[in-house]
Amino acid sequence: MSTILPAFAGDVRVWFAQLESHFLANNLSEQTKLHILFSAFPASLTPVIKDLITDTPINSTYESIKREVLLRTSVSAERRFHDELLGDRMPTELLRRMRELAEDVAADSALIKQLFISRLPSQVKAILAPMVEKQSVDTIAASADRVMEFSRGPTTAAIPQPQAEVFTHAAATGNAS
């Protein structure tokens, strides 16, 4: 059995996934998984899970302790998205980032859709309003990209500007010096 356990880098879900890969590679029993879990908890999680270690509920399993740790360390979806704003990004980029943060929220859930739409500029929301109820969040994001591209319009460098004719006194009198 390999004794090197994954280091905790701050993401509880990733750490559990790595730990489970270790368990699978070593074909460990459920009881052994539980004991390794208790011995390997990162110190930074101790305040959150101390009671699970010191007063372990009877009939606890690796899965039940894992669920409880994830529940205690998870941040609600609304809170994860709190600071996510459109900024200079295109709507599809914002949606992609929100899905990265979603963790346990379905990618096309009503919550993702609602939070995504709330981050769009009001003029874009007004244009897309008729499609919000019937379309997927991916379709809405792609449409929002097009609306924003269109609303930016062509840059002034792309619009030919009329050239003002400059007359000099010499040109007006026909005298060339």
Q: Which residues of 46-84 are buried (b: 16+ CB within 10 A; e: fewer)?
A: eeebeebeeeeeeeeebeebbebbeeeeeeebeebbeeb
Residue 143 pLDDT level (bands cut at 50, 70, 90): very high
Out of 46, 73, 100, a domain closes at 73
Is residue 174 situated within a structural domain? no
Long-range contact pairs involving 136-144 (C-beta distance under 8 Å, separation at least 24): 136/108, 137/95, 137/108, 137/112, 137/113, 138/95, 138/108, 140/91, 140/113, 140/116, 141/91, 141/92, 141/94, 141/95, 141/116, 142/92, 144/91, 144/92, 144/120
Q: How confident is the model at residue 4, as a pLDDT?
A: 84
Which range marks the domain in which residue 117 is found?
78-155
Query: Which carries the bigger pLDDT value, residue 7 or residue 170?
Result: 7
Looking at the structure of the chain, the number of domains it has is 2
- Cα 78 versus chain centre, distance: 12
Give the pLDDT mean for 68-97.
80
128 in the same domain as 146? yes
Q: What does the mean pLDDT of the chain come to?
A: 82
In angstroms, the CA 13 to CA 72 distance is 12
Q: How confident is the model at residue 173, as a pLDDT?
A: 58
Q: How confident is the model at residue 9, as a pLDDT?
A: 85
Give the pLDDT mean for 82-105.
82
90 in the same domain as 136? yes
Is this prediction's pTM over 0.95?
Answer: no
150 in the same domain as 88? yes
